[in-house]
Amino acid sequence: MPGENPPHDPNRPGHVAGIGRLLIYEAGFLTGAANGVANDPWQAGGHCLAAIVLAAAAVEAQVGEWVALPANRDKYKDDAPRWRAQSGRTHEVIKAIIRKEGGGDVGSMPWYGRMRCLFALRSHLLHYFPEPRLVGTFPERLEDCIRQGHLVPAGDDAMDWTSRLLTPSVASQAASIAHEAIDGFAAAVGVDGAV
């Protein structure tokens, strides 16, 4: 009968889509939760950190879903092993895909620079960068993002950089950047709407 689900066939490949959008939704939910516990900086900071990580993961998931589409799997089968080896370089994968799809130069796409800043923020928060940091200053890559207006920190120069970036306002920016990057990527590769 039309409309019925076919029986499950474990040997038939499937495709999962929507993980990127789900992660952005969760990032927004955590941003709201951080606002709800603003009087507890430790708990609010944890929610914000998770929201930023999920926002960056959303972009990575969306690109992965696009490459996994049947038509793209074949087109990028020679590139995929190299991309897997470049873990943590999603911006380079995106650049290569856009070039191959004839979508133009990423340097002219405002969302691309903001997305790179989202990845830089995530990396600085999650990975150990052993460098002395005076209160009121930011790591160099993040300083550039702030100077360009891609990230707008909270607080003032009397605070350390993590206290200024692990805030609901920055977590909200991260989700917005991820949403913009997913839409920008889709437009650059000629896809109407989400994957």
C-beta neighbour count of 145 within 10 angstroms = 23
Total-model pTM: 0.86
Question: Coil, strand or helix: which one is 106?
Answer: helix
Domain membership of residue 160 (yes or no) is: yes
Neighbour-count burial of 139, counting CB atoms closer than 10 A to its CB (0-12 exposed, 13-18 middle, 19+ buried): middle
Tally of structural domains, the chain: 1
What tokens were used for 21? Answer: 């959008």
Domain membership of residue 193 (yes or no) is: no
Domain that includes residue 111, residue range = 19-188
Question: Coil, strand or helix: which one is 172?
Answer: helix
One-letter-per-residue 3-state SS of 102-115: CCCCHHHCHHHHHH
Residue 93 reports pLDDT greater than 50: yes
- Predicted local confidence at residue 32, as pLDDT: 93
What DSSP designation does 108 have? G
Share above pLDDT 70 across residues of the chain, in percent, rounded to a whole number: 87
* Span 149-187, pLDDT tens digits: 999 999 899 998 989 999 999 999 999 999 999 999 999
- Residue 100 pLDDT level (bands cut at 50, 70, 90): confident
- Predicted local confidence at residue 52, as pLDDT: 97
Residue 87 reports pLDDT greater than 60: yes
